Amino acid sequence: GAVVSQHPSRVICKSGTSVKIECRSLDFQATTMFWYRQFPKQSLMLMATSNEGSKATYEQGVEKDKFLINHASLTLSTLTVTSAHPEDSSFYICSARDTETQYFGPGTRLLVL
């Protein structure tokens, strides 16, 4: 299947700093990428849909000024958690759609101290 990479896999930062997570589709072009968040023992929660060349669409309850999404090319989307706080600590997963199927990255574990 198609490959989606995510970087970094793990990041620890101080409260108040910003963290950028990259998501790349390695062997296909993705006009649409997705960002999910997973809380412990819960399902994946869609945060936003990222469209190449246009603004991201955020799900209800997700602060767009806090979670900045940029989809500058057909193979790269970035999520920046601005002014991170301990409650932002979570597992963030990106996904890219290749025709009918969505493929997921390996995830990024964010820990905000």
Partner 1 sequence: DQQVKQNSPSLSVQEGRISILNCDYTNSMFDYFLWYKKYPAEGPTFLISISSIKDKNEDGRFTVFLNKSAKHLSLHIVPSQPGDSAVYFCAARWTGANNLFFGTGTRLTVIP
Chain positions contacting partner 1, by CB under 8 A: 1, 4, 6, 32, 34, 42-44, 46, 49, 91, 93-95, 97, 100-107, 109
Smallest gap from Cβ 19 to partner 1, in A, equals 17
What span, in angstroms and rounded, lies between the C-alpha atoms of 48 and 28? 21
Smallest gap from Cβ 83 to partner 1, in A, equals 25
Smallest gap from Cβ 45 to partner 1, in A, equals 9
> Contact, 4 vs 102, CB < 8 A?
no
